[in-house]
Chains A and B, each alone.
Chain A
Amino acid sequence: MTGAGSWSLGEQDHRRITEQLNDLLRESNARCALLVDRTGQLLANAGDQLQFDPTSFASLTAADFSANDQLAKMIGEPEFASLFHQGEKESMYLADVARRVILVVLFDQRTTVGLVRLRVKQAVGDLAKLFEEMFQRGADGKPALPSLLEGADDEIDKLFGD
Chain B
Amino acid sequence: MSLVNFTSREITCKIVYYGPGRSGKTTNLQYIYGRVPEDRRGRMVSLATQTDRTLFFDFLPLELGSISGFTTRFQLYTVPGQVYYNATRKLVLQGADGVVFVADSQIRQLDENIESLQNLQANLLEQGIDVRTIPLVLQYNKQDLPSDLILQVADLEEQLNFRMVPAFGASAVVGKGLFETLRAISERVLRKLSEAQPA
Task: Give A residues with C-beta under 8 Å from B.
Answer: 1, 3-11, 14-15, 37-41, 43, 53, 55-56, 59-60, 63, 66-67, 70, 139-140, 142-153, 155-156, 158-160
* B146 at interface, CB cutoff 8 A: no
A-facing mask of B2-18, CB < 8 A → 1, else 0?
A: 11111100011010000
Closest 9 CB pairs of A and B: A39-B95, A155-B65, A145-B197, A146-B68, A148-B190, A3-B128, A66-B91, A14-B7, A8-B4
Q: Are B7 and A139 in contact, with the CB atoms below 8 A? A: no
Chain B 92-136, CB-CB to A under 8 Å as 1, else 0, gives 101111000000000000000000000000000001110000100
Instruction: Contact check, A9 vs B43: say whether CB atoms are below 8 A apart.
Output: no
Chain A residues closer than 8 Å to B127, beta-carbon distance: 1, 3-4
Measured CA separation A66–B89 after assembly (Å): 11
B6 and A149: CB pair below 8 A?
no
Q: How far is the CB of A141 from chain B (nearest CB, A)?
A: 9
Q: Which residues of B contact A66 (CB under 8 A)?
A: 91, 94
A153 contacts which chain B residues (CB < 8 A)? 183, 187
Q: Which residues of chain B have C-beta atoms less than 8 A from A60's C-beta?
A: 45
CB-CB nearest in chain B for A141: B198
Contact of A37 with B47 in the complex, beta carbons under 8 Å: no
CB atoms of B6 and A143 under 8 A apart: yes
| A66→B95 CA distance, assembly (Å) | 12
Question: What residues of A have a CB within 8 angstroms of the CB of B191 in the complex?
Answer: 148-149
Please indicate the chain A residues that have their CB under 8 angstroms from the CB of B199 in the complex. 144
Q: Indicate if the CB atoms of B3 and A149 lie closer than 8 Å.
A: no
Q: Which residues of B contact A (CB under 8 A)?
A: 1-7, 11-12, 14, 35-37, 40, 42-43, 45, 47, 56-57, 59, 61-62, 64-70, 72, 75, 77, 87-88, 91-92, 94-97, 127-129, 134, 179, 182-183, 186-187, 190-191, 193-194, 196-199
**Do B65 and A70 have beta carbons less than 8 Å apart?**
no
Complex Cα distance A5/B1, Å?
6
Q: CA–CA, A1 to B93, complex, Å? A: 12
Shortest CB–CB separation between residue A102 and chain B, in angstroms?
A: 13
Query: What residues of chain A lie closer than 8 Å to B77, measured between beta carbons?
Result: 59
In the docked arrangement, what's the CA distance between A2 and B125, Å?
Answer: 12
Whether A14 touches B5, Cβ cut-off 8 Å, given contacts A59-B59, A139-B198, A148-B190, is yes
Indicate if the CB atoms of B6 and A6 lie closer than 8 Å.
Answer: no
B62 CB to closest chain A CB (Å) equals 7
Asked whether, in the complex, the Cβ of B45 is within 8 Å of the Cβ of A41, the reply is no
Contact of A39 among B1, B128, B182 (CB under 8 A): B1
Do A59 and B45 touch across chains, with their CB atoms under 8 A apart? yes
With contacts A146-B68, A152-B67, A159-B62 taken as known, whether A53 is within 8 angstroms of B43 at the C-beta atoms is yes
Contacting pair B97 A70 (CB below 8 A): no
> Are B179 and A160 closer than 8 Å at their CB atoms?
yes
User: Residues of A contacting B2 with CB < 8 Å?
Assistant: 6-7
Q: Which of B42, B65, B92 contacts A56 (CB 8 A)?
A: B42
> A139 vs B55: C-alpha distance in the bound complex, in angstroms?
37
Asked if B196 contacts A150 (CB within 8 A), the reply is no
Once A63-B57, A160-B179 are accepted as A-B contacts, the answer to whether A144 and B1 lie under 8 Å apart by CB is: no
The answer to whether A43 and B3 have CB atoms under 8 Å apart is yes
Chain B residue, CB-CB nearest to A71: B87
Closest A residue to B199 by CB, please name it. A144
Task: Check B7 against A38 for contact (C-beta < 8 Å).
Answer: no
Residue of A11, A40, A146 touching B69 (CB-CB under 8 A): A146
